[in-house]
Amino acid sequence: MRVILLGTAAGGGFPQWNCACALCARCHRGELPARSQECAAVSGNGRDWWLLNASPDVRTQILATPALAPGPGPRDTPVRGVLLTDAEVDHALGLTVMRGSASLAVYAATPVLDALTADLPLRGLLDRYAPWQWRDSTAPSGFELAGGLTVTAHPVSAKAPKYVGSPDPDAPWVSAYRVEDAATGGALVYAPCLATWPDGFDDLLASASCALVDGTFFSADELGTAVSSEDAGQYLMGHVPVAGPGGSLAALARHPGLRRIYTHLNNTNPLLDRSSSASAAVRRAGAEILAEGSELVL
């Protein structure tokens, strides 16, 4: 299986258009690499490609990726569909960029499909350009993707998008995906949105060779210190921090044989700077931050 990191920043990207925090300012000056909003592509055969989330940056991301180039026919594309981990704007809005693409399949959990029908009504809108196949991703036996991949979805949190008026607080709003290549046995866990370390997640990681994990915030007080924000508490509740006793880095240390990569980095996150002490701590613990466009073979 090939996995290409198309985007590795959280909502808004890095730098964020309306942010002049110290990190964004350094990025504007060319001192730190910009990052686009989180999205990845997977393929079992190098011909049929599936996107994990569809970020608003998906057009630029696809154009920058030779494996996703259109052809051989004038309207052919190797992109067969999209697997959504949730209904957040930064993960779903790229679908509008792909409007009109013939017979695309979109997999998501039921609350996500419902939100994209009613609250952010992309589904009806997109089907008027070209009918797509909207599929429930959560069947316990999983589903097969063209190219030799087997996928299972795993509910990881009940964090609903802010735009949903009265969300069911217990619904499985956010999933992680386990994608396995039957031919190689390689398995990827894709979990860019973790509110807490979920029950059963250690078992899921134990069944994988590589994990792409929520790295939104390095520390629990990050939003309050990097930029003053009334939303700080609410946002942090939606993303487990990397550092600290309850953080993801300590939990990932229980899986030394697993390739552990952070994605969905917020513009406030010191991991955006390779020379930061935070980045050094992540490397010492055996986890990685990769450049956009990086490819993994599992």
Of 122 and 193, which CB lies nearer to ligand MLT in the complex structure?
A: 193
Residue 77 near residue 103 (C-beta atoms within 8 A): no
Residue 109 near residue 88 (C-beta atoms within 8 A): no
Residue 33 near residue 88 (C-beta atoms within 8 A): no
Q: What is the DSSP letter of 67?
A: G
Residue 9 near residue 35 (C-beta atoms within 8 A): yes
> Residue with the closest Cβ to ligand MLT?
11
Going by their DSSP bridges, the two strands 174-181 and 39-43 should be labelled as unpaired
Q: Residue 89: which of Mn ion, ligand MLT, Zn ion, none does it interact with, CB under 5 to 8 A by kind?
A: ligand MLT
Residue 80 near residue 105 (C-beta atoms within 8 A): yes
Of 220 and 281, which CB lies nearer to Mn ion in the complex structure?
A: 220
94 binds ligand MLT (CB under 6 A): no
CA distance 190 to 201: 11
Q: Residue 240: which of Mn ion, ligand MLT, Zn ion, none does it interact with, CB under 5 to 8 A by kind?
A: none
**Judged by CB under 6 A, which of 3, 6, 10, 149 binds ligand MLT?**
10
Q: In angstroms, what is the minimal distance from the CB of 84 to ligand MLT?
A: 12
Q: In angstroms, what is the minimal distance from the CB of 109 to ligand MLT?
A: 16
Task: Identify which of 16, 192, 240, 236 has the alpha carbon closest to the alpha carbon of residue 92.
Answer: 192
Q: In angstroms, what is the minimal distance from the CB of 107 to ligand MLT?
A: 19
Q: If residue 258 lies in a helix (H) or strand (E), which one and from where to where?
A: none
172 binds ligand MLT (CB under 6 A): no
Give me 94's structure tokens.
Answer: 């790229």
CA distance 10 to 271: 12
Q: In angstroms, what is the minimal distance from the CB of 11 to Mn ion?
A: 4
13 binds ligand MLT (CB under 6 A): no
Q: In angstroms, what is the minimal distance from the CB of 189 to Zn ion?
A: 29
CA distance 207 to 36: 29
Q: To 10 degrees, the CA torsion angle through 33, 2, 99, 60?
A: 20
CA distance 106 to 113: 9
Residues 180-199 close enough to bind ligand MLT by CB under 6 A: 193
Q: Residue 285: which of Mn ion, ligand MLT, Zn ion, none does it interact with, CB under 5 to 8 A by kind?
A: none
Q: In angstroms, what is the minimal distance from the CB of 287 to Zn ion?
A: 23
Q: Would residue 293 be called left, alpha or beta, if left means φ above 0 and alpha means ψ between -120 and 50 degrees?
A: left
Residues 252-291 close enough to bind Zn ion by CB under 5 A: 267
CA distance 208 to 56: 29
11 binds ligand MLT (CB under 6 A): yes
Of 26-34, 85-93, 166-174, 290-298, the window that binds Mn ion (rule: CB under 5 A) is 85-93
One-letter amino acid for residue 36 of the chain: S
Mark 138-167 with x for binding to ligand MLT (rule: CB under 6 A) and - for no binding: ------------------------x-----
**Judged by CB under 6 A, which of 8, 49, 90, 132 binds ligand MLT?**
90
Binding residues for ligand MLT, rule: CB under 6 A, are 10-11, 88-90, 162, 193, 235, 238
Binding residues for Mn ion, rule: CB under 5 A, are 10-11, 88, 90
